[in-house]
A and B are shown apart, each in its own frame.
Chain A
């Protein structure tokens, strides 16, 4: 009996500590972490296919009800285009170049799930080994932009819709120092937009279409903003680019 209690206690400790993994906190781009003229490669991961999801419709029957109720909009969501997202790499390169870095686009994206894992307790260390980019592309830093979701969502409370649908784009921007394998940027991207005015306008859904492309644009803007380096003067709201402009 005592043995069983001990085992249960041990299992509980393993379970609790196992859940408490380190969550990567956002890292802002700082001039002190990267030298001027550094070679930076910019790569964008695969662009997701637009779709529609129903967060909160958690049971199978709820999901079926939600999907049926939104069948027309869901079918329309699949016709939307997310290819604009990949163009953000050119904006990122231009932004980095204007800040004095030797930035270039990397065409070939390496599947991250196939990169070697790295176990490190150091804060802001990357979980995979990205050095293959240094070997292949001769860069010191790598900016990886991933978009995980692009499409429409409608929140549900089981069977009941909690409001109008919204357009959403989710992603992540990371800059990795390929010499140390540390993050110099780690910024999640979350862009969500509602339809301005009426949303229920089948079959073309102009309001939702606008919202979707506004979300795409907002996501791209967030990516661009995340690669604008801040200095110690950034606390006063002066970025290096705006300082140059004043001069």
Chain B
């Protein structure tokens, strides 16, 4: 009996020792998150930007949507019996699914034709074209330098935080509007699985020059117009995404209203909470939580300049 008790005590003691050793080794190799303070974004001096695709930003032509009411058609199914009726519906669903998929593919191909004459956009915009080395963004009145990460593995990022970006460039069919959609996820290097914050931003830039086409307008000065627009849109998207907390607070305090803006040369109407408005620009949060920065229907900046000159 004594031997059994001694053996049991020995066994339990050894288990306890091994467990505590394991805990200790864990603490040595990986500090727990609670022990390390994660800095807030507006405390950072610099932030590394990691592109989803380190070489190309995907580009596409905008698919012309017609939200106007469609004409509904009716379908009559043969129903000699319950089974034949169900079979007819099933066949129709399969055929319709295939037709819809083909139609969507056709529309995508047709929409992308608009990019063919833009060498910078036809196969995707080169990430190298974005100059971030001298750029800073202001978040809550605090300047942060942006560093374009060359690393394919975010785990090797040096700073306490980094931003993974998923930008897409869309050219409207009239070529008057270029749209950047960018999802920005901010991670801590200690916790790379779940982002600390995520924001989706959409920036719309409209281009219209007198007496020349929109294409010529973008392509002026060896496409410098296009490059600087993309550069500006990208920086604006990062700045807005990093300030999502204060933007969300502003949006929560505002009431929803109908906003009107210019896209693809036409008035576009959407519901959202206005964040900021200038003489030619509007920022608002959409009902789906996307931050949008868009041109107003009417640019009154010129008018105000004229007024001040006259007075």
Q: In A182-219, which residues have CB < 8 Å from any B CB?
A: 192-196, 204, 206, 209-211, 213-214, 216-218
Chain A: residues with Cβ within 8 Å of the partner, total of 22
A-B contact count (CB 8 A): 46
Of the residues A84, A194, A206, A209, contact of B69 by C-beta under 8 Å: A194
Taking the closest CB of chain B, its distance from the CB of A167, in whole angstroms, is: 9
Q: Return 26 A-B CB contacts under 8 Å, by A number.
A: A155-B72, A157-B74, A162-B72, A162-B74, A163-B72, A192-B68, A193-B68, A194-B68, A194-B69, A194-B70, A196-B67, A204-B287, A206-B271, A206-B286, A206-B287, A206-B288, A209-B287, A210-B269, A213-B269, A213-B270, A213-B271, A214-B67, A214-B269, A214-B270, A217-B258, A218-B269
Among A157, A192, A194, A209, contact of B271 (Cβ-Cβ < 8 Å):
A209
Of residues 55 through 112 on chain A, the ones whose CB sits less than 8 Å from some CB of chain B are 84
Q: Could you mark each residue 12-23 of chain B with 1 if its beta carbon is under 8 Å from any beta carbon of chain A, else 0?
A: 000000000000
Main secondary structure of the interface of A (DSSP, over half): mixed
| Chain B interface size, under 10 / 10 to 19 / 20 to 34 / 35 or more | 10 to 19
Q: Which residues of B contact A195 (CB under 8 A)?
A: 67
Per a CB cutoff under 8 Å, which of A157, A194, A209, A216 touches B67? A194
Interface centre among B72, B270, B288 (most CB of A within 10 A): B72
Instruction: Give A162 to B70 CA distance when docked, in angstroms.
Output: 11
| Residue A174 is within 8 A (CB to CB) of chain B in the complex | no
A residues within 8 Å of B by Cβ?
A: 84, 155, 157, 162-163, 166, 168, 192-196, 204, 206, 209-211, 213-214, 216-218
Q: How far is the CA of A166 from the CA of B74 in the complex (A)?
A: 17
Chain A: minimal CB distance from B97 (Å): 15
Does residue B37 face the partner (Cβ distance < 8 Å to A)? no
B175 to chain A, nearest CB (A): 21
B136 at the A interface (CB under 8 A): no
Which residue in chain A gives the minimum CB-CB distance to B89?
A160
A-facing residues in B64-115 (Cβ within 8 Å) = 65, 67-70, 72-74
Name the residue of chain B whose CB is nearest to the CB of A168. Answer: B69
With A157-B74, A162-B74 known as contacts, the answer to whether A192 contacts B287 (CB < 8 A) is no
Render B268-279 as a binary contact track against A, CB cut-off 8 A, 1 for contact: 011100000000
CB of B260 within 8 Å of the partner chain = yes
- Set of chain B residues within 8 Å of A155, measured between Cβ atoms: 72
Q: Which of A194, A210, A211 has the most CB of B within 10 A?
A: A210
Q: Which residue of A lies closest to B290 (CB)?
A: A206
Inter-chain contacts of A217 with B (CB < 8 A): 258, 260, 269
The distance in angstroms between the C-alpha atoms of A36 and B270, with both chains bound, is: 37
Classify the secondary structure of B's interface with A. loop
**Are A193 and B67 interface neighbours, CB within 8 A?**
yes
Once the chains bind, are B72 and A210 in contact (CB under 8 Å)? no
Q: Which residues of A contact B70 (CB under 8 A)?
A: 163, 194
Contact status B65-A166, CB under 8 Å = no
Q: Across the two chains, which residue of chain A brings its CB closest to B287? A: A206
| B258: contacting residue among A84, A163, A166, CB under 8 A | A84
Alpha-carbon distance between A209 and B73 when the two chains are bound, in angstroms:
25
- Pick the 3 closest A-B CB pairs, nearest first: A192-B69, A206-B287, A162-B72
Query: A109 CA to B120 CA in the complex, in Å?
Result: 59
Contact B270 A210 (CB under 8 A): yes
Give the shortest distance, in Å, between B82 (CB) and chain A (any CB): 15
Q: Which residues of B in the span 36-72 have a Cβ within 8 Å of any Cβ on A?
A: 65, 67-70, 72
Q: How far is the CA of A211 from the CA of B271 in the complex (A)?
A: 9
Q: Which residues of B contact A162 (CB under 8 A)?
A: 72-74
Shortest beta-carbon distance, B248 to chain A, in Å?
16
Measured in the bound complex, the distance between the Cα atoms of B74 and A84 in whole Å is 35
B287 CB contacts on chain A under 8 angstroms: 204, 206, 209-210
Contacts of A192 in B (CB 8 A): 68-69
Which residue of the partner chain B has the closest CB to A198? Answer: B288
Residues in chain B near residue A206, CB distance under 8 A: 271, 286-288
Chain A residues lying within 8 Å of B269, measured Cβ to Cβ, are 210, 213-214, 217-218
Chain B residues, Cβ within 8 Å of A210: 269-271, 287
Please name all residues of chain B whose beta carbon is closer than 8 Å to the beta carbon of A211 when the two chains form the complex: 67
Instruction: Tell me which residues across on chain A come within 8 A of B286, comparing CB atoms.
Output: 206
Complex CA gap A213/B270 in Å reads 7
